[in-house]
Chains A and B, each alone.
Chain A
Amino acid sequence: MRNLGLIAMILLLFGCDTEVDLIYEADAIPIVYCLLDPGEEIQTIRLSKSFITEQGETISDSTELYYYQDDVRLAIEKMEGDKAVQHTEFAPVTINKESGFFPGQYHIVYQSRMEIATNTVYRLVIYLEKEDKLIYAFTTTPGDFTIIDPSHPEVRALHFSVDHNPVFHWTPSENVHIYQLGFQFNYYETDSTGSLLKSLLVPLKTIVLQNNPGWFYSFDINSTKFYASLGSLLDAKPEVLRSFQSIDAIVIAGGEELAVHFQLEKEGDPFRMLDYSNIQNGIGVFSGIGYSYSRGFRITDQSIDSLAYGRFTHELNFLDRYGNRKGK
């Protein structure tokens, strides 16, 4: 009877522990991102897994972020109806990180040489052997489209000023729900060691479109925003002089999945419980992307001067229309 009382006492004592462990160890969720690009020879898939860390903790062990490569079978299949007519296996590749916050030491992506057709259905299939888990997704790649304006860079120059915004015209593309307009800005950077041609993508306007009102789309680019974006994207380097070389107009088209993902991220709904995903048994986005370029424009002398001495870009040390730099 005395022993029974002791056991009851021990049970009661343990029963008084009110601490709740909020972080529950569960199976990791596969996270997949892939944008099929008909303009690229090599296609890339990002596959990682969800992880939980305590506040302030970083991940040092890559096994917490990536699946063991021998356990992963990853392929993209070209579909015709319900039938896969082309099967391409992807292999892991370690790539350099871009700037920004990343929890791991390096990146593993899966790549393969694969020709992507426009206006075609593709299926992504991932099999995780150890977990015996199948992850899959479908997408239809964007159709062809072309930039109508700006055009003829051989004889036209672009003009960026408050009253005269450059206008983009382009033909609508099938299976595309989102477009991004921008410029590839090409310039020389000169320092004591010599000159180097550099290039910078300046994305300026993102438009979610689901219908086709005519035979082309028309949107203008705010000239002030162009200078402001350039000023924020390019680092000021007092030791270098820069000179304008050319500018390329770009329209980037994205599939429906990308458009929904963008819309939800932009809206930032505080009651949204989960991120948008079109990956079955995982999280992420599998979609298509396409590019159309109109390359090699000059900009007007007035725009070159604005680049050199305008309030957003004057610290970037660009030469003016005469090849001079006031104060240098």
Chain B
Amino acid sequence: MKSVGFSVLVFLVCLVVLPACEPEIITDPEIDDTQVIQGILHVDFQIKHIWIPTDRIIRVGLHVAVDAQSLYRGIYLQSANVTDTKKLYVFHLPPGTYYYEAIIACLCEGDSCSAGGFPGNQFGKKHTMGKFEIVKDESTLVKPTFQ
């Protein structure tokens, strides 16, 4: 009987102590919890080039739009902060058909960029685009390639 009383006491203490140990969950107020993200786009943004060393080419932009016309007009749904130190980029999107645009630029000085196939000289850009599907609970991989 004594041990039952002790167990009840331990249980009551646990009831009081355990909720106090629960870590505080901090949520970003900007994120709308009602918006369900249903698919993922992975973009494997490699830089390959046959005429110019790849360390003289940088990623400049990576955008997603709802249709090709929006892409052309620069009305993007989402954009990535591209860097030289990251190849893989992730977008969370609802199911549907979308278009992406990837942009690279040449850093060489003089006329090396135009000789290597980039329009203009330093900071001349090349664009590529493609269509992709986002399926619910699945991830889609695209690999932009440049001419």
Which residue numbers of A lie inside 8 Å of B, CB to CB?
148-152, 154-159, 161-167, 169, 216, 218, 222-224, 227, 300-302, 311
Closest 6 CB pairs of A and B: A224-B30, A159-B79, A149-B83, A155-B105, A155-B60, A166-B81
B7 within 8 A of A: no
Question: Of the candidates B60, B79, B107, which one forms a contact with A161 in the assembled complex, judged by CB atoms under 8 Å apart?
Answer: B79
Min CB gap B100→A, angstroms: 14
- State A155–B86 Cα separation when bound (angstroms): 17
For A300, what are the chain B residues with a Cβ–Cβ distance below 8 Å? 76, 79
B87 within 8 A of A: no
- State A177–B31 Cα separation when bound (angstroms): 33
Beta-carbon contact of A163 and B85 below 8 Å: no
For B80, what are the chain A residues with a Cβ–Cβ distance below 8 Å? 159, 164
Question: Of the candidates B30, B31, B75, B84, which one forms a contact with A151 in the assembled complex, judged by CB atoms under 8 Å apart?
Answer: B84
For B83, what are the chain A residues with a Cβ–Cβ distance below 8 Å? 149-151, 167, 169
Min CB gap B83→A, angstroms: 4
For A165, what are the chain B residues with a Cβ–Cβ distance below 8 Å? 81
B91 within 8 A of A: yes
Question: Of the candidates B58, B81, B123, which one forms a contact with A159 in the assembled complex, judged by CB atoms under 8 Å apart?
Answer: B81
Question: Of the candidates B76, B86, B92, B105, which one forms a contact with A163 in the assembled complex, judged by CB atoms under 8 Å apart?
Answer: B92
Beta-carbon contact of B29 and A224 below 8 Å: yes
Beta-carbon contact of B78 and A301 below 8 Å: no
- State A174–B13 Cα separation when bound (angstroms): 51
Beta-carbon contact of A167 and B81 below 8 Å: yes
Beta-carbon contact of B61 and A164 below 8 Å: no
Beta-carbon contact of A155 and B123 below 8 Å: yes
Beta-carbon contact of B79 and A152 below 8 Å: no
Instruction: Determine which residue in A149, A152, A223, A227 has the highest number of CB atoms from chain B within 10 A of its CB, and name it.
Output: A152
- State A216–B83 Cα separation when bound (angstroms): 14
Beta-carbon contact of A302 and B81 below 8 Å: no
Closest to B31 in A: A162
- State A149–B92 Cα separation when bound (angstroms): 23
For B33, what are the chain A residues with a Cβ–Cβ distance below 8 Å? none
Beta-carbon contact of B79 and A149 below 8 Å: no
Closest to A159 in B: B79
B28 within 8 A of A: yes
- State A272–B58 Cα separation when bound (angstroms): 51
Instruction: Give the residues from 48 to 95 in chain B that come closer than 8 angstroms, CB to CB, to chain A.
Output: 58, 60-61, 74-76, 78-86, 91-92
For A156, what are the chain B residues with a Cβ–Cβ distance below 8 Å? 58, 60-61, 82
Beta-carbon contact of A155 and B125 below 8 Å: yes
Beta-carbon contact of A148 and B85 below 8 Å: yes
25 contacts between A and B (CB under 8 A): A150-B81, A150-B83, A151-B83, A152-B58, A155-B58, A155-B60, A155-B125, A156-B82, A157-B61, A157-B79, A159-B81, A161-B79, A162-B30, A163-B91, A163-B92, A166-B81, A167-B81, A167-B83, A167-B86, A169-B85, A223-B30, A227-B30, A300-B79, A302-B78, A311-B30
For A151, what are the chain B residues with a Cβ–Cβ distance below 8 Å? 58, 83-84
- State A218–B80 Cα separation when bound (angstroms): 16
Min CB gap B28→A, angstroms: 6
Closest to B58 in A: A152
Q: A155-B58, A157-B61, A169-B83 are in contact. Are A164 and B78 (CB under 8 A)?
A: yes
Closest to A160 in B: B81
Min CB gap A222→B, angstroms: 7
Question: Of the candidates A159, A216, A224, which one forms a contact with B28 in the assembled complex, judged by CB atoms under 8 Å apart?
Answer: A224
Closest to B80 in A: A164
Question: Of the candidates A167, A227, A301, which one forms a contact with B76 in the assembled complex, judged by CB atoms under 8 Å apart?
Answer: A301
For A222, what are the chain B residues with a Cβ–Cβ distance below 8 Å? 28
Beta-carbon contact of A162 and B123 below 8 Å: no
- State A184–B74 Cα separation when bound (angstroms): 26
Closest to A311 in B: B30
Question: Of the candidates A149, A157, A166, which one forms a contact with B85 in the assembled complex, judged by CB atoms under 8 Å apart?
Answer: A149
Min CB gap A309→B, angstroms: 14
Beta-carbon contact of A302 and B76 below 8 Å: yes
Question: Of the candidates B30, B76, B84, which one forms a contact with A148 in the assembled complex, judged by CB atoms under 8 Å apart?
Answer: B84
For B30, what are the chain A residues with a Cβ–Cβ distance below 8 Å? 162, 223-224, 227, 311
